[in-house]
Amino acid sequence: MKVNYIKGDGIGPEIWEATRPALDEALRLENGAPIEWTELLAGEKAREETGEPLPEETMNALKGARFAIKGPLGTPVGSGIRSLNVALRQGLDLYACVRPVQYIEGLSTPVKHPEKIDMVIFRENTEDVYAGIEFAALTPEAKKLAEFLRDSLGVKNLSGDAAIGVKPMTERGSKRLIRKALQYALDNGRKSATLVHKGNIMKFTEGAFRQWGYEVAREEFGARTRLENEDGEGKLIIKDRIADAMFQEALLRPEEYDVIATPNLNGDYLSDALAAQTGGLGLAPGVNMSDSLAFFEATHGTAPNLAGKDAANPGSLMLSGAMLLEAMGEKKAAGRIRKALRKAIGQKRVPADLAGQMEGSSVVGCREFGEIVGENL
């Protein structure tokens, strides 16, 4: 199987070098077909070698790929690109950001019962405020838009010196994300799927997200789903929660939630908050998906202060790699990665960010932690 990879910026190359051998070894132990790895350039390495932070060759290769994995990417100053990650998501139509969140035994967390958390977040990835339509205060564009909103649409209380952002959300974009979330929930025996939104205030954007979600459930999955107040043993329960209330629910009653479908910004907040409840972003895996490409990635940043110091935690990329193996049909190899990482944490020989959560643990470097996971396979 061919898999493209991008090492990433900052700590990216270090966590990749710790991750790749574990993935290859897990496959070998399960007699899986070896991966044919192909490196693609993006970020600082791409700019150094090609002059562009996101070369056309990289985008073309990804457009024809089925699987890819990457470390964290920064955005080079002066590149003309607002965010490399956003550019990849929009250019490749990676509309679904999928983040499973589950506690690993042995870690200390801010909540009393992190073991109750077992959720998968489906975050819409290409619309909402992340679509990048905004204008700086006092620019001609902002002034012109403010004038149009006031004079033509009757918008009141809009200052002429305001910075302005636009929040586009479409029926197509919302429904395809929710459809993927519901299908996942049904395929994996989950009990409920919850639409998280701020529709009580933003009635025509996030309120529409809620409405479109219920339409998808009723029209496309009606025989297999039910509303929260309806009977129907064995059917997937469709819920909805206001975004701010959902943060409280995640703290107080996490066991009542399985799959979450949310617009872009709410999903960004919620996925990081849940990661903090279960050990931090250092152990949070994820994948960005289109209908043809699954692009797995470390969910944290480039951590430039740790780059080159062999101090990073490769856990997020390792667990994202396990998701990759699972998507390739290598479920046993994926299980080996997860078990080996859990065992390493149980042995209390962990990177510094995890050691700070674990009494009696010893700190190891990124490379050594990767070797420990490899030995545990």
Annotated active-site residue in 5, 103, 130, 257: 130
If you count them, how many residues does the chain have?
Answer: 377
C-alpha distances in Å from residue 340, one per residue of 61, 144, 331, 372: 32, 58, 14, 8
In the chain, where does DSSP find H-type helix?
A: 12-29, 44-50, 56-63, 84-91, 140-151, 171-187, 206-221, 243-252, 264-277, 315-327, 331-346, 352-355, 366-376
C-alpha distances in Å from residue 144, one per residue of 134, 140, 160, 225: 13, 6, 9, 47
Asked about 244 being catalytic, the answer comes back as: yes
Give 48's contacts (C-beta < 8 A, 6+ positions apart). Answer: none
Q: How far apart are CA 215 and CA 225, in angstroms?
A: 12
Annotated active-site residue in 191, 244, 309, 331: 244
Q: How far apart are CA 375 and CA 369, in angstroms?
A: 10
Backbone angles phi, psi at 135, to 5 degrees: -135, 135
Annotated active-site residue in 5, 198, 240, 258: 198
Asked about 198 being catalytic, the answer comes back as: yes
Annotated active-site residue in 9, 93, 268, 353: 268
Structure tokens at 189: 């025996």
Nearest to 177 by CA among 115, 121, 137: 121
Catalogue the active-site residues. 130, 198, 244, 268
